[in-house]
Structure 1
Amino acid sequence: MLLLVAVLAPLLLGFAVLAPNRIVPPRGIAVGDVHVWGFLAPAALAALAAAMLPGRMAAIACGVALCGLLGGLDDVAGRLTASLSAARLGPAAGSWIACGALLLAARLALGRAGTGAAGRAAAAAGFVVAIAAMLALGLLGDLGLVREATARGPELRAALAGHLELVAAALLPALAAGAAAGAFAFTMRRIGGAVMGLLAALQVIPAMALFALLIEPLAALGRAVPLLREAGLRGIGAAPAVIGVFLYLLLPIAAATRAALGAAPAAAVDAARGLGFAPGQVLRRVRLPLGAPVFLGGLRTATVQAVGLVTLGALVGAGGFGVLMFQGLGQFAPDLILLGALPVAALALVLDAALRAVEDGLAQ
């Protein structure tokens, strides 16, 4: 069904959209309006062949079909925007649906083949290499998104560095504080519920409201202590975003720590105590090893949450990929919006996959 959707969506829902500039509304381009079958015919055949191939070969066929679809879009872009430097061509709704269907079909094919985390990572790396090869050969250079990325290379690199710094600045302190809170809640069971309830209450506050609530107190603190202001603690900038994200990450990390410490079977804990293990030895040799996969699951959730929430920090002057996204929204520039959104999604997926691989390795 997914492969059939991938073949039919560009035909029925539109293949591409062309905008002469950022003022004139874009117009749709159907497959029949352009001669692009040199790319699309092999892509469609590869997509249909994937339905009859075994798991890994089906995933490769989906990748070939996706590369063919992107190559077809670039071919059209090269012919329609060659004389218009401000023109941008991108995928229409049908092509976006086809891309999503092919990626999902490839993932299901790998799952059908029983491919583990390492195999899925290798497949993703292979797809990235294929896209990089197409870029190096100039087969994607005329797409609007690639043009925008080329024109804004320094901004894109600065956004990546800024986004990673903000994620690390919020996640690392939250890891220490959340783990301590979770351990306290596990040890002091009578008031542990109140601690977790307080952390859960923070999740009720919308992210933008929390960032806004932090602006004035941080600004006042910076005015009162000039040394802190010089160190970067201001009402506008990275400080409210980092502190706000830090507060949001406390609950998943604390909950994961509490669950991880309680993951060890009671029989294993009793056996360790019967062997004369001190409480610290029980913690190091029984609870932590058996609870590590549970904790990594919570850390994976917190990491992905941090990557997404930092994007909103651009609204309070924090930087990162959110700057590009909101610039695109203000200029009605879809390619600029995607230039900020797609790296955030890719970064979240990469970090999630890496932590999941470690989690699966510990669980085996």
Structure 2
Amino acid sequence: MTTASVPLPNWISYGLIPLINLLLAFFFSGLVVWWIGESPWEALKFLIQGSLGRGDAIGFTLFYATSFIFTGLSVAVAFHAGLFNIGSEGQAYVGGLGAALAALALDHYVPWYVTMPFAVAGAAIFGAAWAFIPAWLQAKRGSHIVITTIMFNFIGAALMVYLLVNVLIVPGKMAPETRTFLEGGQLPKLDWLMALFGLKLGPAPFNVSFLIALVMCYLVWLLIWRTKLGYEMRTLGISPSAAIYAGVPYVRTVIIAMLISGALAGMMALNAVNGAAARLQVEFVAGAGFVGIAVSLMGRSHPVGIILAAILFGILYQGGADLSFEMPTITRDMIVVIQGLVILFAGALEHMLRPAIVRVYQQIARA
């Protein structure tokens, strides 16, 4: 039996190994900072203070984390069914159209808590619809889901630019964006939640979509580990031939998994469109769909792990912005390098240390 197939306790697989990989990522990031002539400890201090040291900093960190939770869940659901959905970026983009249309139609007439379910449904439906064609092509024609979802990112971006420039733009304005939503179309900030901990939210756009993201985490956990459909998806992801032989309907399972995945990606728009900007803008996704891939890998495609990984990337995004301000020699490009190292060690090199850890664990178990 190879070390890759040796079962390990969950606290090692989902706790110790990711922690070691993360420490390695920060160690090599510290070497990069030291190499350019700055103190790694000072850089770490600014990174932590800038992301967790103040109420507004925590608000920005959790705001970014909210978007990453949605896209991380999107990638995870598809991954459990053996599908690598690279299209969360485009699905979130198109999902923003559904959320914005709901707000534009209702914000004059009803309060936000009435608009919110329609915005959630609109974002989910539009995101799922954008995932349907790649799902159908994979299930019925064998077209690889990675290629089709990547291509649909570009198609979705072009479609949204066209709509914002030619259809949804406010007459007389140069900016390609919709009008600002009234209060009935905006998701309120969670300043009351921060106040429970004695913190002030300030200008941070931390909003109700964070609570929606947590609800989605629970629902995804129920779906994957407590339902027949979830069992079929996991079986298909582990062994498609065995799943089909056991009677799992391949076409139906693939399409449903991708529809759920697209819906979760589309709901990311609630955070940016209805929460932060209160309008639909060009490129509001800002790469969150691709970060969701790293978040899902780091979180082992489990909702709890995804929440923790999303908060980590929220820290890197918010703390990185503060770090580049306090240490001008550490540019935004350097922050991207640090984020890349975290992805490399915690995601791509997930099993780099596993053989050595397995040997140590076996020796301790025999002893």
Normalised to the residue count of structure 2, the TM-score between the two structures is 0.30
Higher helix share: 1
Structure having greater relative contact order (Cα 8 Å, sep ≥ 6): 2
Larger Rg: 1
